[in-house]
Amino acid sequence: MANKNIAKLLSVESPFLTLSSLQALFNLTRESTRTTASRLVKKGILWRIGRDLYAVAGRKHSIFSLANALFQPSVISLETALNYWGIIVQVPQINFSVALGSNQIIVDNTEFVYRRIAASLFHFGQKKIDDFYIAEPEKAFLDSLYMQSKGLQELLPEDVDMGKLDDDLVNFYCRVYPAVVKKMVRLFKEHSYEAK
């Protein structure tokens, strides 16, 4: 049975597996799945990342795909995405994502912070790159302003390279954000013009 389970694990493409996905894969009860997973961890076949989340040992994954897997659904955004796209130069010490709930998780001394965003602001402006989902630059910018309006982020106009953002896309996405975000966008644009 153990070799059969290992063969099933190796057939799965994703590096991450939840207890529920292991249960479906092995066709076992939840408790039996938990016991099987524990044995596979001891044998070094699975790596336990957190509660009910495992990775197949030796299977490569990025830090961003780990961020997506730790708290679902979530998308890399805010300063992390802005830095990834070259919109800001500061490298955040924390991996920021937006999600439908708030959370903070530490894995191997790396901090993952999930900021809650309304469902109406979550389900658009995302891209899949390699093995992770990330907000488009314009969406990450607006998400950051949205969080700033709630006192959860600080983004300064002088730190943002507005020239790398698609103005039409910012305006298009901006329509669904609160009025305070629209005002902040205007301030950032004005600062950008003055800086030139």
* Pairwise CA distance, residues 134 & 170, whole Å: 16
- Give the single-character DSSP code of 88: -
- What pLDDT is attached to residue 14? 82
Same domain, 6 and 35: yes
Q: Cα separation of 120 and 137, whole Å?
A: 18
Tell me: do 42 and 111 sit in the same domain: no
Q: Judge contact between 165 and 87, C-beta under 8 A.
A: yes
Extract the tokens encoding 131.
């093995």
Separation of alpha carbons 11 and 136, rounded Å: 31
Please give the pLDDT value at position 3: 73
Structural domain containing residue 162: 63-195
Q: Are 81 and 171 members of one domain?
A: yes
Is residue 110 located within the same domain as residue 86? yes
Q: In which residue are the tokens 């900021």 written?
A: 115
For the stretch 39-52, pLDDT in tens is 999 999 999 998 88
Same domain? 148 vs 77: yes
pLDDT of residue 2: 63
Structure tokens at 142: 């607006």
Indicate if 16 and 68 belong to the same structural domain: no
Residues in a beta bridge with 98 = 75, 115
> Which of 41, 56, 71 lies at the terminal end of a domain, its last residue?
56
The percentage of residues in the chain with a pLDDT greater than 70, rounded to a whole number, is 98
Q: Taking 60 as the threshold, does the pLDDT of residue 1 lie above it?
A: no
11 with 99, same domain: the answer is no
* Nearest-angstrom CA–CA distance, 87 and 17: 33
Alpha-carbon span 26 to 103, nearest angstrom: 30
Name the domain count of the chain.
2
For residues 8 and 156, which has the higher predicted lDDT (pLDDT)? 156
